[in-house]
């Protein structure tokens, strides 16, 4: 159960990170609210998962999922450039996250 919550919390990290960028310094209401709720739920999920998972592993997986999804969304939406090297590096992060799960 902790792994499922951790993965969902990582997804929520991507949500709040993306919303933070769209909030334009908290001058836009809806993205600011999405940021706040996403951050709260993401942190609560991370805290829940860390009751059973080692801190280093849980945090690395959470950050990895959030970072990859945030960057992937930015590339798909056209906010950031797509290149084979960027995609390969993001896949490397995914491989490391999977490795941490396998070793757990």
First to last CA, the chain: 14
Domain residue spans in the chain?
Answer: 2-103
Q: Rounded mean pLDDT of the chain?
A: 96
**What share of the chain has pLDDT > 90, as a percent?**
95
In which band, very low, low, confident or very high, does the pLDDT at 101 lie, cut at 50, 70 and 90? confident
Question: Is 16 in contact with 70 (CB distance < 8 Å)?
Answer: no
Residue 104 has pLDDT above 90, yes or no: no
Q: Which tens digit of pLDDT belongs to each residue from 10-42?
A: 999 999 999 999 999 999 999 999 999 999 999
């Amino acid at each position: 159960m902790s792994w499922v919550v951790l993965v969902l919390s990582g997804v929520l990290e991507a949500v709040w990170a993306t919303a933070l960028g769209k909030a334009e310094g908290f001058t836009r209401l809806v993205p600011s609210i999405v940021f706040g709720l996403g951050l709260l739920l993401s942190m609560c999920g991370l805290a829940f998962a860390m009751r059973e998972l080692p801190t280093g592993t849980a945090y690395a997986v959470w950050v990895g999922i959030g970072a990859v999804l945030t960057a992937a969304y930015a590339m798909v939406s056209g906010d950031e450039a797509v290149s084979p090297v960027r995609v390969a590096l993001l896949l490397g992060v995914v491989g490391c996250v999977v490795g941490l799960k396998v070793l757990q």
